[in-house]
Chains A and B, each alone.
Chain A
Amino acid sequence: MSNSNQFTLVDHGQATKALAMVLKNKTDYLQTLAQAVANQDDRQVYQLINGEKYATEIQKARHIQADKANEQLVVDANDYLSDYLSQKLIAFLNERYPFFYFEETGRGHFQFYFGNWWGRRLFGTLDVLNVAFVFDEEEYQKLARSFEFEAQNKRLNTDTIERLSQENDEIKELLDSKNARDAEQERIRRKLKDLNQMKVMPWEASKQRERKQQLEDELNRYEKLDAKVFDGYQRIHDNEKKILALSKEDTLLGYEKQSILAKFGSFADFEAQNKVLYRDYIANLIAHDNQEV
């Protein structure tokens, strides 16, 4: 006997069908992805894992039919996807950005150096799934600034190096003249002693005080100079270390600038290229597919 108070439930047959549909959609997605991988069709893989990005950047579509739910299915496989996609991408980047040197730090994770020269800088990481460089902000800013400095015909650290060198010259001079200063101080002290011992007429007292003050000021000035260089050798050494580090940085930046200019003509063009990297790369994959067909 049926209980007429019960709600009417959905037909189980319907439910089964609906679930089967959903599951089929998912397996279809995964199968398509698996097939794309089997075919080494990286373009399709990119489309499948991020439909929205693909549609916006490549198809310039207005109505985006993103398949986010299905894309979620492979999120935990990102490292594997990245590892797989990296091969063709890095080959492409090696050609476009011959001065970047990529290193795999873990499955699907890549960092890159700028250049192959001594002391080259670690410049950032590669986001394979989004076809994008994630530049190290600090290093990138240095490079950007060094391009600005070029307009003034200077290197990034020219002024600092100059200042430190000058400081070192001054310290050296003060160190060199230490003996002369010592002798002079000794002379002044003796004079002061003489003055103190000298007996003068009352009306001469103020003049004597004035003279004493003068000598004491002079002595003070010398003492200040000595204090300035008491750690002179250490400071020269420290400055030299700083100068070396800055010269090295300038040399590195010089090579980086040259590399960018040789390949892109200007820093602006380099930056512009970076912005359209995804589209550029997918277009390259399409062009390759067409060639093969």
Chain B
Amino acid sequence: MKLETVVFYPHESEFDVESAGAFAPAQSTADRLVEYNQQLKDNLNAGLYFTEVLDTLIKTDDVNELLKAVQILASYQLDSSYLVYPLQYSRADFYLIFVNRLLGLHEDETIILQSSEQKQSLYHEFPGINDRGIFKFAVNPANNQQAFYVEEKTGLRLFFIDFEKKQLYFNSQDLTKLLLVNYRDQVQKHILKHFERYLVALGQYLQADYGYEVDFNFFDATYDKLYQMQTATDPDDALDKLFVKSSQAGLMLISGMNGEAVLKLKGQVVLTLFNKDLVQATQPCWVMKVDDPDNQVSLFDLLVDNDFLVDWYLENENDVQIRCHEVFMEADDK
């Protein structure tokens, strides 16, 4: 999937620009001039209004004004038949600015907003990942309030955001590919966790400030989080493999009283795998659960910290990978 920042070109705007001169025929020249002048004024005013909103986006200290600004800009049509702005930022760029501003308001701006000189567009860069990752929004052409946050080189979609419905869903499958496969030997573990923290913080601010519905997926460290696995049957082979691999790593996968598999890891962290629909089971529903004394550890953290575990996770991904929101599946079908 190729992702380019969308730039508004004169007469090639994303919107249909009414073609000039298509006005009612019976007009005197004077009327036309007046009409023209009025259009110019309106358009200039629209441009001025745009700069005011952009000011807000850049400068406001109010989270609500910030959100409103980005929503206006994201659907704003700056060009018209009378006035064309050759240099413009795209919606995707406004979304990036919004992210930085929101983090900034929480004094937590961990991602760097970069501008690419050739393309006149913006992108995100993360310290430590550096130029290995270029992060941008890919706006849904059919609905400009929806966007995927994408790593440009790989096309991997890290999360989905809907500014209108206030939804944010993380995509553990692509995050796994990017962070645990591609970056595995290239980026230090603590950097990967910093990157996780950045994404989680973003989700938390959206949740707290605007009431977003957020699926943190395998970044979720809350104590009662159950990570639902892909498999629709009992993952016997995968569990046996985990048993063997754990043993090779000097750990023991234990059999619980109710058929659950329990793995005690260092730092009093416990990973439990079990079928949560034991009772009314028409088909098993296997989940993973991570327990730690401070509720600080997510499944992703465990995977980062334990090489044998991530090996196992990747080798058995058809069974054990954590399910993602269907928005990522639908896009896959295309």
* Chain B residues within an 8 Å CB radius of A116: 254-255
Give the Cβ gap from B236 to chain A, nearest Cβ, in Å: 9
Instruction: Determine whether A267 belongs to the interface, using a CB cutoff of 8 Å to chain B.
Output: no
Give the Cβ gap from B104 to chain A, nearest Cβ, in Å: 48
* Complex-state Cα separation, A248 to B261, whole angstroms: 15
Whether B255 lies near A120 (C-beta < 8 A) is yes
Q: Given A118-B239, A118-B261, decide whether A244 and B244 contact each other with a Cβ distance below 8 A.
A: yes
Whether A255 lies near B244 (C-beta < 8 A) is no
Instruction: Using CB atoms and an 8 Å cutoff, list the residues of chain B in contact with chain A.
Output: 237, 239-244, 247, 252-255, 261
Q: Given A118-B261, A254-B247, A255-B247, decide whether A248 and B240 contact each other with a Cβ distance below 8 A.
A: yes
Give the Cβ gap from B238 to chain A, nearest Cβ, in Å: 10
* Chain A residues within an 8 Å CB radius of B239: 118-119
Give the Cβ gap from B31 to chain A, nearest Cβ, in Å: 78
* Complex-state Cα separation, A254 to B244, whole angstroms: 11
* Chain A residues within an 8 Å CB radius of B241: 244
Could you write out 22 A-B pairs with CB less than 8 Å apart? A117-B243, A117-B252, A117-B253, A118-B240, A118-B242, A118-B253, A118-B254, A118-B255, A118-B261, A119-B239, A119-B243, A119-B255, A244-B237, A244-B240, A244-B241, A244-B244, A245-B240, A248-B240, A248-B244, A251-B243, A251-B247, A255-B252
Minimum-distance CB pairs A-B, first 3: A118-B253, A118-B243, A251-B247
Instruction: Determine whether A47 belongs to the interface, using a CB cutoff of 8 Å to chain B.
Output: no
Closest to A101 in B: B255
* Chain A residues within an 8 Å CB radius of B252: 117, 255
* Chain B residues within an 8 Å CB radius of A119: 239-240, 243, 255
A221-247 vs B, CB cutoff 8 Å, 1 = contact: the mask equals: 000000000000000000001001101
Closest to A120 in B: B255
Give the Cβ gap from B244 to chain A, nearest Cβ, in Å: 5
* Chain A residues within an 8 Å CB radius of B255: 116-120
Whether B254 lies near A251 (C-beta < 8 A) is no
A89-115 vs B, CB cutoff 8 Å, 1 = contact: the mask equals: 000000000000000000000000000
* Complex-state Cα separation, A254 to B242, whole angstroms: 16
Give the Cβ gap from A243 to chain B, nearest Cβ, in Å: 10
* Chain B residues within an 8 Å CB radius of A248: 240, 243-244
* Complex-state Cα separation, A51 to B252, whole angstroms: 45
* Complex-state Cα separation, A224 to B240, whole angstroms: 36
A-B contact count, CB below 8 Å? Answer: 36
Within residues 54 to 87 of chain A, which ones have a CB less than 8 A from any CB in chain B? none
Give the Cβ gap from A4 to chain B, nearest Cβ, in Å: 81
With most chain B CB atoms within 10 A of its CB, the pick from A116, A118, A120, A248 is: A118
* Complex-state Cα separation, A116 to B260, whole angstroms: 11
Whether B244 lies near A247 (C-beta < 8 A) is yes
Closest to B263 in A: A118
A247-270 vs B, CB cutoff 8 Å, 1 = contact: the mask equals: 110010011000000000000000
* Complex-state Cα separation, A255 to B253, whole angstroms: 11
* Complex-state Cα separation, A118 to B242, whole angstroms: 9
With most chain B CB atoms within 10 A of its CB, the pick from A241, A247, A254, A255 is: A247
Within residues 13 to 48 of chain A, which ones have a CB less than 8 A from any CB in chain B? none
Closest to B273 in A: A118
Give the Cβ gap from A148 to chain B, nearest Cβ, in Å: 21
Give the Cβ gap from A149 to chain B, nearest Cβ, in Å: 17
Contacts A117-B255, A118-B240, A118-B261 known; 10 new A-B pairs at CB < 8 A: A116-B255, A117-B243, A118-B243, A241-B237, A248-B240, A248-B243, A248-B244, A251-B243, A251-B244, A255-B252
Give the Cβ gap from A285 to chain B, nearest Cβ, in Å: 30
* Complex-state Cα separation, A45 to B241, whole angstroms: 48
* Complex-state Cα separation, A165 to B277, whole angstroms: 37
* Complex-state Cα separation, A244 to B254, whole angstroms: 18
* Complex-state Cα separation, A143 to B239, whole angstroms: 23
* Chain B residues within an 8 Å CB radius of A251: 243-244, 247
Give the Cβ gap from B20 to chain A, nearest Cβ, in Å: 63
* Chain A residues within an 8 Å CB radius of B243: 117-119, 248, 251
Give the Cβ gap from B252 to chain A, nearest Cβ, in Å: 5
Within residues 105 to 138 of chain A, which ones have a CB less than 8 A from any CB in chain B? 116-120
* Complex-state Cα separation, A245 to B244, whole angstroms: 10
* Complex-state Cα separation, A118 to B255, whole angstroms: 4
Give the Cβ gap from A164 to chain B, nearest Cβ, in Å: 15
Give the Cβ gap from A146 to chain B, nearest Cβ, in Å: 14
* Chain A residues within an 8 Å CB radius of B240: 118-119, 244-245, 248
* Complex-state Cα separation, A248 to B243, whole angstroms: 7
* Complex-state Cα separation, A154 to B5, whole angstroms: 60
Closest to A240 in B: B237
* Complex-state Cα separation, A178 to B104, whole angstroms: 59
Give the Cβ gap from B287 to chain A, nearest Cβ, in Å: 17
* Complex-state Cα separation, A118 to B240, whole angstroms: 8
Give the Cβ gap from A119 to chain B, nearest Cβ, in Å: 6
Whether A117 lies near B254 (C-beta < 8 A) is yes
Give the Cβ gap from A238 to chain B, nearest Cβ, in Å: 13
* Complex-state Cα separation, A120 to B254, whole angstroms: 9
* Complex-state Cα separation, A248 to B239, whole angstroms: 10
Give the Cβ gap from A111 to chain B, nearest Cβ, in Å: 15
Give the Cβ gap from B203 to chain A, nearest Cβ, in Å: 34
